[in-house]
Amino acid sequence: MMQLAGKKALVTGASRGIGMAIALAYAVEGADVAVTGRSLEKLAPVVDKMHAMGRKAVALEWDVSCVKGVDSRIEETAEKLGGLDLVVNNAGVIRSERFLSVTEEGWDAVMDTNLKGLYFSCQAAANHMIKKGIKGRIINIASDAGLRGAPVPYGISKWGVIGLTKGIAGLLLPHGILVAAIAPGPVTTEMMNWEPGKPVEITSPFGRMAYPEEIAQLAVFLASQGASRIAGDTIVINGGL
């Protein structure tokens, strides 16, 4: 039995890595999916794979750091899918800067996508769900870097994502909207400078980085009926680091 049959989902930053894995896992479980990214060309193969499964799938060119018009973007997504039950805020960027050399430009580049963009996406999704009476789910992709003190923008932004998730969960629960977050550790993605064929070993009890598909399975669970008592929590999946 498909866990997400008939659901309509939006996954941001889905042209590769964790976002792509979540979009495909949702399609496998029966959802119709809209995927976003900065390049429609890069999103096309993801959409093709979902179409091959018999799912409705659409690609939207969308830079989440540009928050102007985010409400209309959410409405457009719902119109194209025929509804909107699930929103996964995955889009994110990282910069390999150290505290003493972080620039304002670097700070803004990370914060505008990872925190500001995610914040207003949550707001727009919540407003849409409340207006339509949808008992939906909002799932934010954080990081285990957001669980400890952080001297650089990436970790600080993910700390903010975790705080935001907890902060809005109580506000939206009376509307039947559940909000949760996932905090992955190192994953075999381009963001981690990993390329196919490279070793995946890392110092952890598991002895390797996670695969995007493993994160995606947690995202499926959080979108399913099985997670109906999870609100405001951040689920850590970092291989015991």
Report the catalytic residues. 154
Angle at the Cα of 222 (from 166 to 77), degrees rounded to 5? 90
Strand order in the sheet with 178-184: 57-61, 32-37, 8-11, 86-89, 137-141, 178-184, 234-237
Please state, in angstroms and as integers, the Cα–Cα distance from residue 46 to each residue in 56, 58, 202, 237, following that order: 12, 9, 29, 24
Query: 2: which DSSP letter?
Result: -
Three-state helix/strand/coil letters over 26-53? HHHCCCEEEEEECCHHHHHHHHHHHHHC
